[in-house]
Amino acid sequence: MTIEPTTTEIITTGTADRTLAADRATLHLRVSVTDANREDAVRRAAELHAALVRRAEALVEVGDAERFEADPLTTSSSSWEQDGSRRTEHYAGANVRALLLRLDLVGELTAELATTGVDPSVEWRLSDEVRRSVESELRGEAVADARARAEDYAAAIGTTLGAVLEVREPGSAGGSGGAAFADARFARAAAPAVVVTEGQLEVSASVTLVFRSA
């Protein structure tokens, strides 16, 4: 009777993170007007919306913004009873978004536009090119971290590390695949995440690898 040698699965999770300065900012501008008179609400909102579109077009024209998007005006009404009479309030609003290239304008623009009745907010971003490059690097670092952990565990239990059996992203159901498939794809498998603070973005990647002992 031949006794087959046993193998051990070693499962480790690797992580990598990096804090980067944003190189893009999306300026979200919300026009919101309410009035007892529907025509007045629509007129004031339309004027504010048109002024925002003109400003966004000017930013793009001089190269301060990459692009902008303007949503159409929306309207609604609500009614209620108050002091024995029926009251109606009409709402008109719209959104404009501008992707800024000049981050030094963010504070100036938000302060200026806030005084005109516009509700501004800022979403800090990375350009697509920078994001793809950083995420690729972090995936590789996360895989290297997971492999280093696995090698430590293998040494501690007196074995050596064998082939990769599985690569799992956070939230994935997992699954088994051949080592050739895993080795060819692991550098792209770690899932990146982004945490945003003012002007800074923390980009991270995490991946779980399943190894077979040699």
Structural domains present in the chain? 9-21+129-213 (3.30.110.170), 24-125 (3.30.70)
164-172 CB contacts, 8 Å cutoff, 24+ apart = 164/209, 164/210, 164/211, 165/9, 165/210, 165/211, 165/212, 166/208, 166/209, 166/210, 167/207, 167/208, 167/209, 167/210, 168/207, 168/208, 168/209, 168/210, 169/206, 169/207, 169/208, 170/206, 170/208
- Residue 184 pLDDT level (bands cut at 50, 70, 90): very low
Residues 6+ apart with CB under 8 A from 108: none
Q: Are strands 65-70 and 24-35 parallel, antiparallel or unpaired?
A: unpaired
The pLDDT assigned to 1 comes to 52
- Residue 152 pLDDT level (bands cut at 50, 70, 90): very high
Q: What is the pLDDT of residues 52-78, one digit of tens each?
A: 999 999 999 999 999 999 999 999 999
Exposure pattern of 95-117 as b/e (b: 16+ CB <10 Å)?
bbbbbbbeeebbeebbeebeeee
- Residue 169 pLDDT level (bands cut at 50, 70, 90): confident
- Tally the residues of the chain: 214
Q: What is the pLDDT of residues 95-110, one digit of tens each?
A: 999 999 999 999 999 9
